[in-house]
Amino acid sequence: MLLEVKNLVTEFHMKRGTVKAVNNISYQVDQGEILAIVGESGSGKSVSSLSIMGLIRSPGEIAAGEIIYNGQDLLKLSQKEMQKIRGDKISMIFQEPMTSLNPVYRVGDQITESILTHMKISKEEAKKRAIKMLEIVGIPSPADRFNDYPHQMSGGMRQRVMIAMAISCDPELLIADEPTTALDVTIQAQILDLLKQMRDKFHMAVLLITHDLGVVAETADRVLVMYCGQVVEEADVKELFQKPLHPYTLGLLKSIPKLEDESKEPLYMIKGMVPNPLHMPPGCPFSDRCDRCMERCRKEMPDLQEINGRKVRCFLYDQKEEVQA
């Protein structure tokens, strides 16, 4: 096991109240595994990844839990100690490369700076390594593109630069936060294929944050489904798509358009809206939107329980019998 998140709680203290963006979640990532975390906007996916990186800023704070990386609790490290791990052992690709890359510096210099921060090599060696990284991620004429500014590159190329920067110090864990957002379908496929190649080439683990179940099906080994800051289902990717257990997961899958569907029925849509995080319902947060809601669901919070090697948070299941979803 490379990374283990235990009972993580990340809160944001607002004037109107406290929001638990991440509410007592636990999961683990193994070496060489691609774990996808999926859910709607506001489900806590990105906040959980920023918590791992130690990038939660005021008014947010990590209120409880442990983040164990290689047997070490990252939450007990100082900022200086975290800086040595961040970008070196654990790297992150952010959602929008245009805002993540500095517009006034050449892309090659930005990769070189990252390498020099974490590796004891000369500037010349760092430049050679940066060019090699650009070549690895499939950027043509890498020695020439080394001198380009971000605005001179397409969105797909900028995303490749971000990946090159993220893998430049041979990380053991790569966190990819919506790495294909705002890219067209063909470039999306190239970026996802590149992530899988990087996993195979360097045997690094990948934590993939996304709302796109197509991306999950194409890339992940295992899936964590989040809703309102909680894990509602965890399963192997094939099991999840073949037999979703939680009504929310089922709703997400039913919402995907299918090419072979010739019916004129409107596309399925999960009813209602995600509840206001400042005014969460007393029971299951999905109860108001659930087609199979019971009276108990509106009063009690279901526990995350194990069912045949996978996990689900729903009263449709208990420890004694499995009810078909």
Bridge partners of 312, per DSSP, are 233, 305
- In terms of Cα–Cα distance, which of 54, 46, 28 is closest to 181? 46
Mean pLDDT value of segment 43-51: 94
As a whole number, the mean pLDDT across the chain is: 91
Mean pLDDT value of segment 1-25: 95
Q: Give the pLDDT of residue 322.
A: 44
- Give the residue range(s) of CATH 3.40.50.300 domains in the chain: 3-89+173-312
pLDDT one-digit tens code per residue, 124-181: 999 999 999 999 998 999 999 999 999 999 888 998 999 999 999 989 999 999 888 7
Rounded Cα distance between 318 and 323, Å, is 8
Rounded Cα distance between 179 and 164, Å, is 13
Beta pairing, strands 222-227 & 34-38: parallel
47 pLDDT tier (thresholds 50, 70, 90): very high
4 pLDDT tier (thresholds 50, 70, 90): very high
Contacts of 293 (CB under 8 A, 6+ apart): 284, 287
Q: What is the pTM of this model?
A: 0.91
Count CB atoms within 10 A of the CB of residue 242: 9
Beta strands in the chain (DSSP E): 3-14, 17-29, 34-38, 60-69, 72-73, 90-93, 173-177, 205-210, 222-227, 230-236, 305-307, 310-312
Query: Which class is 3-89+173-312 in CATH?
Result: alpha beta
Which of the two residues, 188 and 9, has the higher pLDDT score?
Answer: 9
Which residue do the tokens 């919506």 mark? Answer: 178
Contacts of 260 (CB under 8 A, 6+ apart): none
3-state DSSP assignment of residue 29: strand
Q: Give the pLDDT of residue 324.
A: 43
pLDDT one-digit tens code per residue, 183-241: 788 888 888 898 898 899 888 999 999 988 988 998 999 999 999 999 999 999 999 99
Q: Give the pLDDT of residue 217.
A: 92
Angle between helix axes 123-136 and 107-118 (nearest 10 degrees) is 120
321 pLDDT tier (thresholds 50, 70, 90): very low
Q: Give the pLDDT of residue 97.
A: 67
pLDDT one-digit tens code per residue, 80-137: 999 999 989 999 998 776 678 999 999 999 999 999 999 999 999 999 999 999 999 9
